[in-house]
Chain A
Amino acid sequence: QSVVTQPPSASGTPGQRVAISCSGSTSHFAFNNVNWYQQFPGTAPKLLIYSNNQRHSGVPDRFSGSKSGTSASLAISGLQSEDEADYYCAAWDDSLNAWVFGGGTKLTVL
C-alpha cells in the first residue's frame, strides 16, 4: 500500500521562507512526478506545481517545487498572510494504478 506523508502543520512569519515536505513510501514515488495543490477553507483545491517543479499558470514565482528520490518539497519564499492554507502533494502510483494524495499540511502565517 502506497503512502504519501506530509507534516500536518507548518508555520512561518511574513517574509520568511518555508518548505513543506512530501515523502513516498514506495519506489514508485521515486519514478513519478509530484503535483502540489493549495486549498483555502470551503473552496476547491487549486493546482500550484505540476511535474515536480513546474508552476501552473498564474502562480507567483514565490512558489517552487523540487523532488529527489522518494522526497519532494514545496517551498514558499517571501511568505504572505494570504498563503495561509492547506497544501497537498499528489503522485501517481503505478502499482495501485491510482493517484495518491498526501494527508495535507496546514500552513499558518504567524
Chain B
Amino acid sequence: QVHLVQSGAELKKPGASVKVYCKASGYTFTAYYIHWVRQAPGQGLEWMGWINPNTGDTNYAQKFQGRVTMTRDTSITTAYMELSSLRSDDTAVFYCAREPGYNSGFDSWGQGTLVTVSS
C-alpha cells in the first residue's frame, strides 16, 4: 500500500527557509515522480514542481524558481521541498503527491504540512 508521510507543522519567521520532507513507502520510490502542491488558507491548489527521484532532475513552476529546491534521498525513500525567503503569503499547507505515469494524475498524496510564516 502506497503511503506518503510528511513532516510536521512549522512556524517560521519572514525571510527564513523551511524544508518539508515526504517519506514514501509501499512502492519503488525511484519509479515515480514526486510533485509538490501548495494550498493557502481557504484557497485552491497551486503546483510548485516535480522531482524525478531516480535522476534527481527537477522542474519548478516559474513562480517559485529561485526560491524552491526539491531534492531526494533514495536511501531512505524521502523527497524534500525547501522554500526560502519566506513571506507571510507563503503560509499554506504543502502537499507531496506521486505521479505513477504519464497522464495518470497524482494518485497518492501526503497528509499535508502546514507552514505558518509570521513574525
Measured CB to CB, the residues of A under 8 A from B are 33, 35, 37, 39, 44-47, 49-51, 56-57, 88, 90, 96-104
Contact = CB atoms under 8 A, between A and B. Distances in A.
B9 interface: no
Contact of B107 (A33, A39, A47): A47
Contacts of B44: 88, 101-104
Given A45-B95, A96-B62, A101 B46 contact: yes
B32 interface: no
B103 interface: yes
Interface string B95-119: 1010000011111011110000000
Nearest to A36: B105
Contacts of B111: 44
Contacts of B104: 50-51
B102 to A, nearest CB: 9
Given A35-B105, A47-B107, A56-B105, A99 B112 contact: no
Contacts of A47: 105-107
Nearest to B45: A101
